[in-house]
């Protein structure tokens, strides 16, 4: 049976979830990956209102939509980050509070714990998200960065995320980090170090997203092969390197959508990601969860793009073979037919 195709709702949070669910039925999706912003899935209301999750599921059911995961990237970002004014724009007011950095970190951690509790009430077992990073600003080692400074960043991951993961374990929910620039894990080696730091806790794995790897020069298929038992969720998103000799992958402080950038996100099938090989690799590791379209393309109408992306994924996905193609040549196999 083909994997369900869902839409990540984070980039559609300006629409009420009921309206989006109706659109997604018309687009051809099987379900939604509900973002914890807008009215799509509100953690505080899910815990305070005994009927909230049932009502949310009823909205989805009326539109033929399933839900397999929720996402709380924005709050997760504030757990490890060095807090500044940027975070106020993405955090719920009750998490931002007075903006004191220590308080924001603490409230974000508590909200991520509550997200696991809310996911349990909704009946899903995966929360996708970010961790943030206290050491992202040290990426380029000048002024020289000592190994101890990097060690401290990973030690902070253990200090702040182990209590969060304890709650995830209690709730029977997994946290799937989207490996991504500005997170504690942004490539294969940092992802491995994050796992080591957290002592390979089962509650911690990855939301695989090839678009954040390819522009770094990383083969996304190698990420799947490196962590075959830690792919807890999959984002289908494309990106294209467009460096023309004037700009590079650091993108010159140019915003997404600016044609001068060295890379940008593209609608599925219009970038540089080899999704054929990704499907084959997911088959190899036995991933049977949803393929969630995270649609981001500044140069295309999003409804056109979502509809096109759903068709693209549905045509692309296939089940692995249960027999070797040359088994029919074997006389013993022929006699079993």
DSSP 8-state class, residue 71: E
Beta pairing partners, 208: 234
- Does residue 333 surpass a pLDDT of 80? no
Decide if pLDDT at 1 tops 60.
no
| DSSP secondary structure letter of residue 85 | G
DSSP state of 37: S
Q: How far apart are CA 30 and CA 320, in angstroms?
A: 21
Contacts of 243 (CB under 8 A, 6+ apart): 249, 262, 263
- Predicted confidence (pLDDT) per residue in 175-194, tens digit: 999 999 999 999 999 999 99
pLDDT score of 335: 61
Give me the residues paired with residue 47 across strands.
none
Residue 246 pLDDT > 70: yes
* DSSP category for residue 198: T
**CA distance from start to end of the chain:** 23
Classify domain 5-335 at the CATH class level. Answer: alpha beta
pLDDT at 255: 96
Whether residue 168 contacts residue 140, with contact meaning beta carbons closer than 8 Å, is answered with no
Number of C-beta neighbours around residue 40 at 10 A = 22
Quick one: tokens of 199?
């002592």
Model confidence band, residue 321 (pLDDT cutoffs 50, 70, 90): confident
Please say whether the beta carbons of 221 and 274 come within 8 A: yes
pLDDT of 276 over the 70 cut: yes
What confidence tier does 169 reach under pLDDT thresholds 50, 70, 90? very high
At residue 327 the predicted structure's pLDDT band, cuts being 50, 70 and 90, is low
With H, G, I as helix, E, B as strand and everything else as coil, classify residue 21: helix
Instruction: Report the C-alpha gap between 153 and 135 in whole angstroms.
Output: 6
Helix (H, G, I), strand (E, B) or coil at 56: helix
Convert 249-269 to b/e letters by CB count within 10 Å (16 or more is b).
eebeeeeeeeeebbbbbbbbb
H helices present in 227-301, as ranges = 275-285
- Average pLDDT of the residues of the chain: 96
What digits encode the pLDDT tens for the residues 9-28?
Answer: 999 999 999 999 999 999 99
pLDDT of residue 305: 98
pLDDT digits (tens, 9 = 90+) for 71-110: 999 999 999 999 999 999 999 999 999 999 999 999 999 9
| Strand 238-241 relative to strand 263-266, pairing | antiparallel
Q: What pLDDT does residue 322 have?
A: 77
């Amino acid at each position: 049976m083909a994997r369900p195709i869902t839409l990540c709702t984070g980039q559609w949070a300006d629409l009420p979830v009921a309206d989006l669910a109706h659109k997604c039925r018309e687009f051809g999706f099987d379900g939604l990956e509900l973002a914890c912003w807008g009215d799509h899935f509100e953690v505080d209301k899910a815990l305070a209102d005994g009927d909230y999750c049932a009502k949310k599921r009823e909205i989805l059911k009326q539109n033929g939509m399933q839900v397999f995961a929720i996402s709380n990237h924005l709050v997760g970002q504030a757990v490890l980050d060095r807090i500044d004014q940027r975070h106020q724009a993405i955090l719920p007011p009750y998490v931002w509070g007075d903006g004191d950095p220590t308080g924001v970190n603490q409230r974000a951690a508590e909200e991520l714990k509550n997200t696991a509790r809310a996911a349990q009430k909704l009946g899903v077992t995966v929360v996708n998200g970010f961790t943030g990073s206290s050491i992202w600003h040290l990426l380029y080692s000048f002024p020289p960065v000592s190994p101890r400074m990097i060690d401290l960043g990973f030690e902070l991951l253990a200090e702040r995320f182990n209590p969060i993961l304890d709650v995830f374990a209690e709730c029977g929910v997994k946290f799937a980090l989207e490996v991504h620039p500005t997170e504690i894990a942004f490539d294969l080696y940092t992802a491995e170090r994050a796992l080591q730091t957290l002592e390979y806790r089962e509650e911690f794995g990855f939301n695989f997203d090839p678009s954040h790897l390819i522009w770094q020069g990383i083969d996304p298929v190698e990420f799947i092969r490196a962590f075959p038992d830690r792919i807890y969720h999959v984002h289908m998103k494309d990106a294209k390197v467009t460096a023309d000799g004037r700009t590079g992958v650091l993108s010159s402080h140019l915003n997404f959508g600016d044609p001068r950038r060295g890379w940008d996100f593209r609608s599925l099938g219009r970038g540089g990601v080899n999704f054929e090989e990704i499907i084959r690799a997911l088959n190899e590791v036995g991933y049977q969860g949803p393929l969630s379209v995270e649609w981001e393309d500044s140069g295309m109408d999003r409804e056109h793009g979502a509809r096109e992306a759903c068709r693209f994924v549905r045509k692309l996905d296939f089940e692995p073979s249960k027999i070797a193609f040359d088994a029919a040549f074997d006389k013993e196999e022929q006699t079993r037919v």
